[in-house]
Chain A
Amino acid sequence: DAKTTQPPSMDCAEGRAANLPCNHSTISGNEYVYWYRQIHSQGPQYIIHGLKNNETNEMASLIITEDRKSSTLILPHATLRDTAVYYCIVRVASQAGTALIFGKGTTLSVSS
């Protein structure tokens, strides 16, 4: 699996957009970009995933660069409850499902 690089921490003011970057310069053509987050003392939570097109759901938007070497997770209006560690993972998606390889992620701190 391709390796990802994320900043260790970021701060964001409540109500503002949180933009979390991820570099994955060695990503292969069949690898998807997944984002999970882990709120303190809870299990990880799936947020969004994409291959090459930008994606949006009720939680976030995912912007993937044209060369697919980096992506940005956008939380459009961050709240205090969005304070968590955010993990960017690249992975081949297969029918069987495969274990996720979590790095150290980005600790996002949202403050009022």
Chain B
Amino acid sequence: GAGVSQSPSNKVTEKGKDVELRCDPISGHTALYWYRQRLGQGLEFLIYFQGNSAPDKSGLPSDRFSAERTGGSVSTLTIQRTQQEDSAVYLCASSPRLVHGNEQFFGPGTRLTVL
């Protein structure tokens, strides 16, 4: 079956430009997460969507970062006025609504390079 997909796989942009990263979660999964992974570092949580509830934005590093999830499915992470420190792999994950387990299925990520 189809897993989590992300696009583009790679994005090179100039400092100051806006970028949009897309995530298609597994069909039927109600929870969607965005993480960031800088080179050689662990994953940093950015934002979390669960059904129709208000998203948990506690991990967003600045107001330049925002995310939407339309129709409870596809999500877009937008970074405005990109900076060089935004260069990282941006990972999306989804999970079904389970009583326990919390298994998250990750996409392959989008590698963002800000020049």
Contacts and interface: CB of A to CB of B under 8 A. Distances in A.
Given A45-B106, A49-B103, A91-B102, A97 B42 contact: no
A99 B46 CA distance: 9
Contacts, number: 70
Contacts of A98: 48, 102
Interface string B1-34: 0001000000000000000000000000011010
Interface stretch (A20-28, A64-72, A102-110): A102-110
Nearest to A34: B102
Nearest to A99: B45
B98 A95 contact: yes
B45 A97 contact: no
B97 interface: yes
B30 to A, nearest CB: 8
A10 interface: no
Contacts of A44: 43, 91, 93, 104, 106
B75 to A, nearest CB: 14
A98 B42 CA distance: 17
A104 B108 CA distance: 19
Contacts of B101: 49, 93
A42 B108 contact: yes
A103 B37 CA distance: 11
Which has the most chain A C-beta neighbours within 10 Å: B42, B56, B107? B42
Contacts of A99: 33, 35, 45, 48, 56, 59
5 contacts: A44-B106, A91-B102, A97-B97, A98-B102, A100-B104
Interface of A: 32, 34, 42-46, 49, 87, 91, 93-105
Interface of B: 4, 30-31, 33, 35, 41-43, 45, 48, 50, 53, 56, 59, 91, 93, 95, 97-109
